């Protein structure tokens, strides 16, 4: 399995990595244009899923990136944003506002990336959105992949607290590695 360090080194070996990522950063903070950045992350996820070395694609297929970004966003919204929102509503129902009252949010934040990545992976296997809603398969992937993704998920959550640049760079590494993790699970399941 590839490590964060290996993926980061490969990422920075592209002479245009900074400008490609900065474009992703700018697009990710502009409403509607952020779908292009989501599409870019979907393509990175597909590279990980295919077990290809990470290569930052060019930004020349704007229509394709936008369509891919819409797909990614719908899955991310359902499997990451809605669970976090539901947990926020639950936390706000508590009459006290202390640090400990926010503790239930931690699992929601931690599971948002793996749940949305597992659903995205299932979607890419079939090309059918209904496969994302095979909750048993999504939870099965999340459970089986825990040893592979807990470190990168914690690292990504740490980056989320920083600037959009860190978010986008972290997203490139995170979604590439998540694609590889779930592909490894698929390959391991196919072995006798």
pLDDT of residue 16: 93
- 17-24 mean pLDDT: 91
What is the spatial distance between Cα 152 and Cα 180, in angstroms, rounded to a whole number?
12
Q: Is 24 exposed, middle or buried (0-12, 13-18, 19+ CB in 10 A)?
A: buried
Count of Cβ atoms closer than 10 Å to residue 57 Cβ:
15
pLDDT one-digit tens code per residue, 76-108? 999 999 998 988 888 777 766 666 666 677 788
pTM confidence score: 0.79
Supply 160's token pair: 């989320």
* pLDDT higher at 162 or 46: 46
């Amino acid at each position: 399995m590839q490590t964060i360090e290996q993926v980061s080194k490969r990422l920075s070996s592209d002479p245009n990595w900074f400008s490609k990522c900065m474009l992703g950063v700018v697009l990710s903070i502009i409403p509607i244009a952020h779908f292009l950045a989501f599409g870019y992350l979907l393509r990175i996820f597909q590279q990980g899923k295919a077990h290809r070395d990470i290569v930052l694609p060019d930004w020349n297929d704007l229509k394709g990136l936008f369509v891919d970004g819409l797909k990614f966003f719908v899955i991310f919204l359902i499997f990451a944003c809605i669970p976090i929102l539901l947990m926020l509503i639950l936390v706000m129902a508590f009459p006290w506002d202390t640090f400990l009252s926010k503790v239930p949010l931690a699992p929601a934040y931690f599971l948002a990336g793996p749940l949305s990545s597992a659903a995205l992976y299932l979607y890419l296997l079939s090309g059918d959105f209904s496969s994302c809603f095979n909750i048993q398969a999504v939870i099965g992937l999340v459970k089986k992949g825990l040893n592979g993704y807990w470190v990168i998920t914690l690292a990504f959550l740490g980056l989320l607290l920083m600037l959009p640049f860190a978010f986008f760079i972290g997203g490139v590494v995170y979604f590439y590695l998540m694609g590889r993790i779930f592909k490894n699970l698929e390959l391991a399941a196919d072995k006798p």
